[in-house]
Amino acid sequence: MKLISLASLFKSRLGLVGLSLAILSLLAACKGEERSNPVYRIGYMNCNTEPETIARFGPLTAYLSEKTGLKFEAVTVNTEDFEERFNQGEFAFTHTNSLLYVILKERSGLKLLASEKRGQFGARSAGTIIARKDSGITTLADLKGKRLVFGPFMAPTGFVAQYDLLLRAGVDPEKDLAYYAVPPGSYKHEKVLYGLLYGQYDAAAAPALDLEVMTREGKIAADDFVVLAQSVIIPYCTFGVGKDVDSKVVDKVRKALAELTPESTAEFAGERVKVLKAAWVDGFEELLDSDFDPLREMAKRAKMPPYEEY
C-alpha cells in the first residue's frame, strides 16, 4: 500500500476541499442568522379541524410578523397534546382556552398575554345548562335520571362550568344522571345543541357564546330552549407566552394584539385579509391572572386539571 502524506492528499483534492469549506461556512452563516432572527412558534389549540385553525389564525400570525418585524409561525395542536408539546419546547406562544392557560400557568409558568373578545360578554363567557322548552324540565334537580350532553372535556364553558353547577346543585353527574355523553369528533359545540334540539338528550351543557352566535346565525331560536342554570362569566380564549421568552418580544406582541382593529389586515395565502374577521374575534383585552380565579375555583370543585384528584 502506498502511503501518501496528508498535505499531498489535500493538494490533490484542493477543489473538493474548497467546496466543503464553502458549504460549511454557508451552514454556519445560516445558523447564525437563525440565532439573530429566530422564528417564534405559536401553538393554536384546534377548536374543530387543522385547516379551520390555520384559516382562522394564519392571518393573525402573519399580522404579528408584519407588525413586530419578528418571524412567527402557526402550529396547530390538539387539546390533549397541548401541555406535552408546549413542555417539549415546540412553541413558545400559546393560544388556548382559559382552562389550558390555567393548567400551563400552574404547572409550567406560562405568562398571560392577552385574551380574546367575542360576543356580549367581551373577553368572558358563561356556561349554561339548557333543556328544550317543551321538555317540562325547569330545574337542575329535574335532571336526575336524565340524559345530558356536555361539550369537550376541557372546555371551560362547555364542561367545567356546568359540571360545577350540577355538583353545587346537589346533582352528581357521575351518579345521578341516567348517563352523560361528550360528542365525538369535531364541531362538538354544534353537536351538543343539535343533539338536544332533536331529542337525543334531555339537557345540554352549552357555552353562552355558542347560544348567542347560533341565535344570531338563525340556526336556533331563543324560544327553543329554557336556561336551567348559568355560571358566572369567566375568561374566554387566551394568548400566553413561555416564561423564558425575551420581555421585549413579549411587549411587542402584546402591543400588536392590543392595537388590532376590525380594519387591520395582513397578507395571507396570496391575499390581503381582515385579521379579526378571519379569526372570529372582536379584539383583545389585557386581563389579570386574578381574573381567572373564578375558573380556578370551578376546576377545584370539579376536581379538574390542574387540580385533579384520583
Partner 1 sequence: MLTRGLFDKLLWLALLVLAAALVLVVVRAAGSSESAGSKVLDKAMERAMTYQSRVALIRELYGPVETLLQAGQDQSALLKLAEIEKTYPGEAHGQILKGSIQARLGAIDEAVASYATGVKLRGDYVDKENPLSRRTEIGRVVESGLQTVSARLAANPDNRTAQATMKQLYYLQSRLAGGCE
Of residues 229-248, which lie at the interface with partner 1 (CB under 8 A)? 230, 232-233
Say how many Å lie between the first and final Cα of the chain, rounded.
Answer: 72
Which part of the chain contacts partner 1 (CB under 8 A), choosing from 58-66, 70-78, 97-105, 222-230? 222-230
User: Of the candidates 286, 289, 293, 308, which one interacts with partner 1 according to CB under 8 A?
Assistant: 286
Output the smallest distance, CB 158 to partner 1, in A. Answer: 15
Site for partner 1 in 253-282 (CB under 8 A): 258-259
Residue 111 as a binder of partner 1 (CB under 8 A): the answer is: no
Size of the site for partner 1 (CB under 8 A): 29
Handedness of CA 208, 211, 215, 217 (dihedral sign): positive
Restricting to residues 122-181, name those near partner 1 by CB under 8 A.
122-124, 126, 128
> Considering beta carbons, is residue 77 or 123 the nearer one to partner 1?
123
- Minimum CB distance to partner 1, residue 66 (Å): 20
Among 64, 154, 211, 241, binds partner 1 (CB under 8 A): 211
Whether the Cβ atoms of residue 110 and residue 240 lie closer than 8 Å to each other: yes
Tell me: does residue 21 bind partner 1 (CB under 8 A). no
Environment class of 288 (CB within 10 Å of its CB; exposed 0-12, middle 13-18, buried 19+): exposed
Identity of the residue, 172 or 251, whose beta carbon is nearer to partner 1 in the bound complex = 251
208 contacts partner 1 (rule: CB under 8 A): yes
CB of 256 to partner 1, least distance (A): 12
Q: Which three cell numbers stand for residue 129?
A: 345548562
Cis peptide before 183 (omega within 30 of 0): no
Q: Does 194 bind partner 1 (CB under 8 A)?
A: no
> Does residue number 41 form part of the binding site for partner 1 (CB under 8 A)?
no
Binding positions for partner 1, rule: CB under 8 A: 117, 120-124, 126, 128, 208, 211-212, 215-216, 218, 221-223, 225-227, 230, 232-233, 258-259, 283, 285-286, 288
